[in-house]
Amino acid sequence: MAEKMLGNIARQINHFSGQDEKIHTLIKNFKTLSCQAADVKETVEAEELRSGKKRKRVVDNWLGNVEMMENNVQKLEENRESKRPSLLSGNRIDKLIGEIEELHEEGRFPGGLLLDTCETAADPLLAPELTIQTSKRNIEEILAYLMDDKVWCIGIHGMGGVGKTTLAVHIYNRLRQDFDFHPYWVTVSQENTIGKLQNDIAKNLGLDFSNEGDERKRAAKLSQTLTGENRVLILDDVWNKIPLDKVGIPNKVNGRKTCKLILTTRSLDICRWIGCQAKFKVQPLSEEEAWQLFEETLGQQTDLSPEVRDIAMSVAAKCSGLPLAIITMAGSMREVNDIQEWRNVLKQLEELTMGQEYMANEVHPILEFSYSRLNDMKLKLCFLCCALHPEDQKIERDELIGYFIAEGLIDAGKPWQAKFDEGHSMLNTLLRSYLLESCENDGGRCVKMHDLIREMALKITKEVHPRFMVKAGVGLEDIPAEREWTEDLDKVSLMGNWIEEIPLGRSPRCPRLSTLLLNRNCLRRIADSFFEHMHALHVLDLSMNEDLEKLPNSISDLENLTALMLQGCQRLIYVPPLGKLRALQELNFNYTGIKELPQGVDRLVNLKNLNMEGTFQLKRLPSGILGKLSHLQRLRLSTLGPVEVQAKELEGLRELKEIAVRLLDIDGFTQFVKCLQQPRFGGQLDKYFLAVKDRESDIMRDGNDPDINKVLILSGQYNVNGGEGEDGILLPYDLQLLRITGCSFARGNSCLYDDFFPSLCDNAIALKECELFECEGIESIISSSTSSYSSTSFQSLEKLDLYGLPDFVSLFRSKFLGFAVIAPSCGTFSNLKNLSVSNCPKIKSLFTSILMLLFRTLEVITVAECAQIKDIIETVNENGLETSFFKNHDIPAITLPKLKKICLDDLPELKSIFEGRMVCESIEKIIVHGCPKLRRLPFSLPLVNRQLLGLTNIYADREWWESLEWDHPNAKDALRPYLY
């Protein structure tokens, strides 16, 4: 396909004079690169299958870059069709040829393609601190059995809520911290299928089974990967008998080369059936241990009198020694000191547990009692909604809160951010009551439900209003039979299954159904009849059904719908008219394939959240449509696709709180900023992501501080003129991140701060990150005259990244003595943590010794590919004179108390970091490459008991290292162990 595309390009643009040879080279080189990428992909997939190892992230990144290159080449054809020959210039083609050559070199992967996943360190799991001596003894006994070559399977069994999982988590952490074992943790759901269990194990091993449907082949690959020295597989919460051979879990004793297996289960029979050689029963806590845990959970804020303490001990005893019940009960009684309330609680518990025949049934009444103590019905409903998610799933907090908003459980009259704030407060209340657990997933904040608490929640929804049907994440391939869709259902969750089709004739009669969750399935088709009897539906989530191309027309009649979630339906093209959905408040098209807005969107007068951020196929946005959606609070449009917005269309959105939009040009952007500053807006935006970009720009915001919510990206072949006041570019006063890429700044007006963005003066109080990439004309960032006007210049800035600035000379410019001599105000850069200067060929020094007083907060310094730089810190005295006129021993030391990392790379003329001493007590990494003229490291590092504090690595060429001169005769030997 790529070859055919390139052939077409060659024929179509051949008439541009002087480009024939370059186009031929482009075609030839990209064809070679495409073949190389195909070979790499085929090789890495085969090696993953054969060895069980995982590919390096750099491989996936490289393959993605090759794909992006194909898109860039394809744009050449689009530019020809749009008659934009200027974009087919020799420079443009030369740049692509150069980038293809770089990708070709990077694709050699001299360090190999794969990681040995089984040898990488596992992350620790969070677990409560063990205070019970019995549990500590159990851990030591289990660890001893793991060392026995004759034991390959250990079962931990006991009733629900006694702490089996906690015990297993501590074993997992001990294995990864104190022993030469590689543990893998898999939570087994109640209705686990062989295929799902194989997928879960494979994910932990770094294997990809997405293209392998044969269970036997998957089992063989798992068995091969797990058969190795010191592997331990922990299966938590096993409910049913697991055929180990069919799953792919080795089950033969073969010394320590066989994977060890640990499982937790409520059934001793399962331990026996699987063949556990060692079985440990987790007993309920003794009365003394139970009170100890209860008292610890109450916390110091609960001050109990002797009389109340006696009652509280009786309450703890009613929890039957079950840790989950004890923690949940105590959590609900925190800061309760009133004796009457404690007596009432004890009486209720006595009535709840009276007549219980089996201890296993006692935990549910305790948990239900804690639920009943929630004093807000909306909070109870929020808790029950958490049970709509699959068992043991980590649920993103924002996703949950989105459901709370859609369900109407949060005040609809609040602004969007205030709704999320209230949602977080609700979740925190549930966490404090121990009805939810806090956790993380890929760094994101999540919550999860203990399986017993989820059972309790679902039990409540089967007995009283609201009525739920929950079959989430249980491996369904078809929707439930119609007899299960009873007329009293309020909410149905079928998320996370394998359902591919809702066939004709399915039309459940659910007149009360308000929520239907079908997200994360494999839906391709939905029968038009399916929604015919669901007219009370408020929330419909069809997101993450990647193969769904068309929505049924019956959705047009769901007039009570408040939220329609379609994000991640990448092939979705057809959406029926939506004009009748006047109650709709949330409409999410993010990462769908729609090419035009559905009919009737302009009639959705109550719409508050419209998300079209990933709609790259959307060709246009009808003029005037946004102005009709006057209640919009959250508007997210694609900032990379072809849709552009005129500022005047946004002026009527007076309730707007969050926006991501691509504006037509600088004038349109300035118009929008002026609009923001008018009283009717009054700085009301909580978040904005504004892009002013030409069509060739593919700059996205990534890897930045998640707390940065106000972003401007100016990118493309724009000419930026200088000026004063309104002649300069007007920026929002509360901007947090400014990124400028590929722009040309008028020469003669060289200071970014004064000459091009005068609106930053006195207004840059919130700016945290400033990034300048490949811009001509910028000689400095700030001048001495600026600092005389403002003591807050860049005071909040934490990151400054300068790359590819051909005219850049210095951070500071003095109107009188030239560059980098006079220090600005002491407030300037007073919070800067990360400074990076790369590919700036004219700069000769980064700082002066006087200016270093401004940079005591620096944590990372990076200087790379600056051909003329000679000094990182140029030494000058207080009069601005170079210290070459003075003796080196007169140079005062410089202290950078927070510096953690310095990286110097490809600096051929660098002779000095600093002529004096640099006191860096926090330094962790020193990286020096390609600096042949540098002969001295000036760092004064803290030494305690002959050990350097903090320092972990020095990365440098060994030949260069051996040639260094040292201030102290023992420094070289002291630092050598840290050299890599």
Give the whole-angstrom CA distance, residue 842 versus residue 212. 55
Helices (H), 148-189: 164-178
Residue 210 lies in a domain: yes
698 contacts 741 by C-beta, under 8 angstroms: no
Verify cis geometry, omega within 30 degrees of 0, for the bond prior to 466. yes
Q: Which two tokens stand for residue 38?
A: 């195909």
* pLDDT for the residue 758: 56
State the CB neighbour count (10 A cutoff) for residue 879. 8
Count of domains for the chain: 5
- Report the amino acid identity of residue 774: E
* pLDDT for the residue 4: 47
Give the whole-angstrom CA distance, residue 602 versus residue 728. 36
918's enclosing H/E stretch is: strand 918-919
- Report the amino acid identity of residue 921: E
Using alpha carbons, select from 156, 57, 157 the residue that is nearest to residue 109: 57
Residue 320 lies in a domain: yes
Residue 621 lies in a domain: no
796-824 confidence digits (pLDDT tens)? 889 999 999 999 998 887 644 444 444 44
Confidence of residue 207 (pLDDT cuts 50, 70, 90): confident
Residue 863 lies in a domain: yes
Among 235-239, 310-314, 663-667, 702-706, the minimum mean pLDDT is found in 702-706
**Are both 806 and 843 inside the same structural domain?**
yes
Last residue of a domain, one of 422, 454, 486: 454
Residue 610 lies in a domain: no
* pLDDT for the residue 822: 43
Both ends of the chain: CA-CA distance in Å? 45
Confidence of residue 516 (pLDDT cuts 50, 70, 90): very high
Confidence of residue 921 (pLDDT cuts 50, 70, 90): confident
Of the chain, the percentage scoring pLDDT greater than 70 comes to 79
Q: Region 746-756: what's the mean pLDDT?
A: 61
Using alpha carbons, select from 852, 843, 804, 858 the residue that is nearest to residue 824: 852
Give the whole-angstrom CA distance, residue 901 versus residue 401. 39
**Are both 67 and 207 inside the same structural domain?**
no
Using alpha carbons, select from 321, 320, 331 the residue that is nearest to residue 289: 321
Give the whole-angstrom CA distance, residue 489 versus residue 511. 8
387-420 confidence digits (pLDDT tens)? 999 988 899 999 999 999 999 999 888 887 889 9
**Are both 229 and 142 inside the same structural domain?**
yes
* pLDDT for the residue 480: 94
769-792: string of b/e by CB count within 10 Å (b at 16+)? bbbbbebbbbbbbbbbbbbeebeb
What is the model's pTM?
A: 0.70
557-581 confidence digits (pLDDT tens)? 999 999 999 999 999 999 999 999 9
DSSP state of 574: B
Confidence of residue 830 (pLDDT cuts 50, 70, 90): confident
Q: Region 629-657: what's the mean pLDDT?
A: 81
Question: Which residue is it, tokens 């504090």?
Answer: 949
Confidence of residue 229 (pLDDT cuts 50, 70, 90): low
666 contacts 693 by C-beta, under 8 angstroms: no
Q: How far is the CA of 249 from the CAs of 145, 262, 860, 894, in angstroms?
A: 19, 12, 46, 60
Distance of CA 634 to the CA centre of its chain: 21
Last residue of a domain, one of 266, 281, 296: 281
Is the pLDDT at 88 greater than 50? The verdict is: no
Is the pLDDT at 2 greater than 50? The verdict is: no
* pLDDT for the residue 904: 94
* pLDDT for the residue 698: 43
| 261: three-class secondary structure by DSSP | strand
* pLDDT for the residue 128: 57
Q: Region 425-435: what's the mean pLDDT?
A: 89
- Report the amino acid identity of residue 45: E
Q: Region 630-642: what's the mean pLDDT?
A: 82
Residue 895 lies in a domain: yes
Is the pLDDT at 1 greater than 70? The verdict is: no
CATH number for 421: 1.10.10
* pLDDT for the residue 886: 34
* pLDDT for the residue 397: 93
* pLDDT for the residue 256: 44
* pLDDT for the residue 358: 39
Last residue of a domain, one of 431, 454, 477: 454
Residue 492 lies in a domain: no
118-138: string of b/e by CB count within 10 Å (b at 16+)? beeebeebebeebebeebeeb
**Are both 110 and 171 inside the same structural domain?**
no
User: Which tops the pLDDT comparison, 924 or 230?
Assistant: 924
Give the whole-angstrom CA distance, residue 366 versus residue 380. 16
Residue 429 lies in a domain: yes
448 contacts 187 by C-beta, under 8 angstroms: no
Beta partners for residue 714, in sequence order? 692, 740
Confidence of residue 86 (pLDDT cuts 50, 70, 90): very low
493-514 confidence digits (pLDDT tens)? 999 999 999 999 899 999 999 9
Question: Which residue is it, tokens 């030469």?
Answer: 180
* pLDDT for the residue 917: 87
Of the chain, the percentage scoring pLDDT greater than 90 comes to 27
Q: Which domain holds residue 394?
A: 377-454
Q: Determine whether 425 is exposed, middle or buried from the number of CB atoms within 10 Å of its CB (0-12, 13-18, 19+).
A: exposed
753-780 confidence digits (pLDDT tens)? 655 565 555 556 788 999 999 888 888 8
**Are both 306 and 351 inside the same structural domain?**
yes
CATH number for 225: 3.40.50.300
Mean pLDDT for the chain overall? 80
Confidence of residue 885 (pLDDT cuts 50, 70, 90): very low
**Are both 77 and 152 inside the same structural domain?**
no
**Are both 297 and 277 inside the same structural domain?**
no
**Are both 909 and 929 inside the same structural domain?**
yes
Q: How far is the CA of 290 from the CAs of 119, 314, 317, 453, in angstroms?
A: 40, 11, 7, 19
Q: Determine whether 368 is exposed, middle or buried from the number of CB atoms within 10 Å of its CB (0-12, 13-18, 19+).
A: middle
> In sequence order, which residues have a C-beta less than 8 Å from that of residue 529 and are 6 or more positions away?
504, 505, 506, 507, 554
Confidence of residue 488 (pLDDT cuts 50, 70, 90): very high
**Are both 836 and 973 inside the same structural domain?**
yes
Among 12-16, 42-46, 294-298, 477-481, the minimum mean pLDDT is found in 12-16
**Are both 397 and 337 inside the same structural domain?**
no
**Are both 132 and 255 inside the same structural domain?**
yes
Give the whole-angstrom CA distance, residue 806 versus residue 772. 12
* pLDDT for the residue 639: 65
**Are both 953 and 911 inside the same structural domain?**
yes
- Report the amino acid identity of residue 490: D
| 901: three-class secondary structure by DSSP | strand
Is the pLDDT at 19 greater than 70? The verdict is: no
Give the whole-angstrom CA distance, residue 608 versus residue 359. 50
* pLDDT for the residue 157: 87
Of 150-164, 761-775, 873-887, 952-966, give the range with the top mean pLDDT: 952-966
* pLDDT for the residue 392: 83
* pLDDT for the residue 667: 78
Give the whole-angstrom CA distance, residue 769 versus residue 777. 21
Confidence of residue 930 (pLDDT cuts 50, 70, 90): very high
Give the whole-angstrom CA distance, residue 25 versus residue 82. 23
Among 204-218, 307-321, 372-386, 416-430, the minimum mean pLDDT is found in 204-218
